[in-house]
Structure 1
Amino acid sequence: MCNIVGIYHTLPCCSSLTVSLRCSLLLSLLKVANYSSLDACLNLRWPSAESEILPRHVPKGYFVMQVLRRCPSNTSPLTLQHLKSVWKDVAGDLNVDESLLTDEDFLCCCGSSSPSVNAILGGVVSQEIVRAITGKGAPHGNWYYFNGLQCTTTVEWLPNSAISS
């Protein structure tokens, strides 16, 4: 009697036919997540082949992040007027409508960080690390957005990447 060690559990087997059937069954259960590169995610443009999602369906946190990437961290304070002026440039570069973000969307950037939000995001990150190490469970999307004002979360694949088997 021999054992085949799989990703999820050990399969005992008796013959080569059983081995091949169980191996093919095990391989059909495995899924591979194809993550896009960070550069591809951060440089989406609309319309394009990579961005199958319409801009209005993308979490607003993605666009706020694009604005914050353009703001120098040590030269100017994060005021609402400064963020709105940077947003006009970002919206033009991304080819999206400026009305996509409102003043309320930028207010989260002008205050201090919240310890409760940090705890939630830390828990989600640690859960994903445990999933990756153990190989149990399907991975979430490659972007996790938490809206602290509305206490909602969104998990997205940006650009769209399907989990292939």
Structure 2
Amino acid sequence: MSAGTENKDKQLSAVEAELYDRQIRLWGIESQEKLRAANVLLINIRALGSEIAKNILLSGINSLTILDDGMVTQDEQSKNFLLNRDSIGKKIAEEVLLKAQALNPLVKIVADTDSPSSKDQSFYKNFTIIVATSIKSDLLLKIDKTCRANNVQLIFGDVFGTFGYCVADFQEHEYHEDQVQLSGKKRNHEGVEKTTVKVQGTINYPELNKVIILPNRKQNADSIKKMKRRNELFFLMLALIEFRNKHNRNPSDASRKVDLKALQSIKKDIFELYQVDESKSKLSEDIFGIVFGEVVPVCAVLGGIISQEVIKAVSHKEVPINNVFLFDPVTYDGKEETIGA
């Protein structure tokens, strides 16, 4: 493909320019063209994944590949607006296609019903950015290595009850933002003269094996131990990730008593690793009681946050999170933390 053809392919058509007119006014034609060239992989499209898919499809990306080997259950159908009543018992990646495509007919959507763990690592190098949900940390760290070797951006997140989080690895990420500056000169009848200046910056993200550090792993947690200020919801995030690693599922109401006991045990191991005095911890004993299931409104909030970060990462417009976002399950506030850097 010649350079001229490649540039032409990245340019917006008249139909796209009309469809995306409002967001072009918001973030500019250059950002929209970068989105237009982006190929996104979404790993697992459950309640949270459906919210992410909706938002990034509407943003105007080039293609979305949905990788999910799961089957639709009655519980999943009730939480996922991309599914129909007759979807139960069928492949979820295929069942979401019709409604997903209707959101934006201009985006190419591919359903892949393979297991994410069955994919050769070379599969993951073919995307602009990968958005992962509901996978074990061992696979996540392998994917992150592949992403770093091939300049592919990565963000992952999950919702457990009313708690949610996301973690980004955008590597060495350059961005710009428009800032309004005052000239200092007063103009008659029109106030102070203003100019818009493009300000550039860079954020260096740590690889995920320096952020997701769990007990009994060959990882060095010293950099995180030395942090003077730590949001203890970070430890809640680690406990839930480790629960999935050990049990190959999320905490379930069907086994609530057993799962609560397992979560408390995991929390003790994490506190020991990070040298946290449990008697002084602000992480309530009752916190694990509200991390069961996927609460749909929380999925909508976190899905919006993750999609927003995908748009920032791909367009290089505005400052992205650096590098962990934690959604408080009690106050419903969002907190940004820099971990492992």
Which position in structure 2 is the counterpart of 1:131?
312
Which position in structure 1 is the counterpart of 2:231?
59
Q: Is the 8 A contact 2:323 2:337 kept in 1?
A: yes
Which position in structure 2 is the counterpart of 1:88?
268
TM-aligned CA deviation for residue 123 of structure 1: 0.5
Pair 1:129–1:83, CA change in 2 (3 A): same
Residue among 151, 155, 165 paired with 2:332: 151
CA distance in 2 between counterparts of 1:49 and 1:74 reads 29
Task: Give the 3-state SS of the residue equivalent to 2:336 in structure 1.
Answer: strand
Q: Is the 8 A contact 2:223 2:340 kept in 1?
A: no
Which position in structure 1 is the counterpart of 2:208?
38
Q: Which one has more relative contact order, counting CA pairs under 8 Å at least 6 apart?
A: 1
Alignment RMSD, CA only? 2.9
Partner AA of 1:65 in structure 2 = M
Residue among 70, 87, 109 paired with 2:242: 70
Q: Is the 8 A contact 2:323 2:338 kept in 1?
A: yes
TM-aligned CA deviation for residue 97 of structure 1: 1.5
CA distance in 1 between counterparts of 2:201 and 2:232 reads 30
TM-aligned CA deviation for residue 85 of structure 1: 1.8
CA distance in 2 between counterparts of 1:127 and 1:149 reads 23
TM-aligned CA deviation for residue 121 of structure 1: 0.6
Structure 1 segments unaligned to the other structure (5+ residues): 1-6, 9-24, 161-165
Offset from partner CA, 1:34-76 (integer Å, 9 cap, x none): 001100011263xx3455423xx32222101222233222488
Task: Give the 3-state SS of the residue equivalent to 1:102 in structure 2.
Answer: coil
Q: Is the 8 A contact 2:313 2:320 kept in 1?
A: yes
Q: Could you state the TM-score of these two structures normalised by the residue count of structure 2? A: 0.35
Is the strand fraction higher in 1 or 2? 2
Partner AA of 1:35 in structure 2 = Y
CA distance in 2 between counterparts of 1:83 and 1:59 reads 18
Partner AA of 2:227 in structure 1 = I
CA distance in 2 between counterparts of 1:50 and 1:70 reads 17
Offset from partner CA, 1:89-137 (integer Å, 9 cap, x none): 221122212232321222222x221100000011011111111222211
Which position in structure 2 is the counterpart of 1:4?
none
Which position in structure 2 is the counterpart of 1:116?
297
5 Å matches for 1:5-16?
A: none
- Once the two structures are aligned, what percentage of the paired residues are identical? 24
Task: Give the 3-state SS of the residue equivalent to 1:136 in structure 2.
Answer: coil
Task: Give the 3-state SS of the residue equivalent to 1:42 in structure 2.
Answer: coil
Structure 2 segments unaligned to the other structure (5+ residues): 1-174, 177-196, 214-219
Q: Could you state the TM-score of these two structures normalised by the residue count of structure 1? A: 0.67
Task: Give the 3-state SS of the residue equivalent to 2:247 in structure 1.
Answer: coil
Q: Is the 8 A contact 1:140 1:155 kept in 2?
A: yes
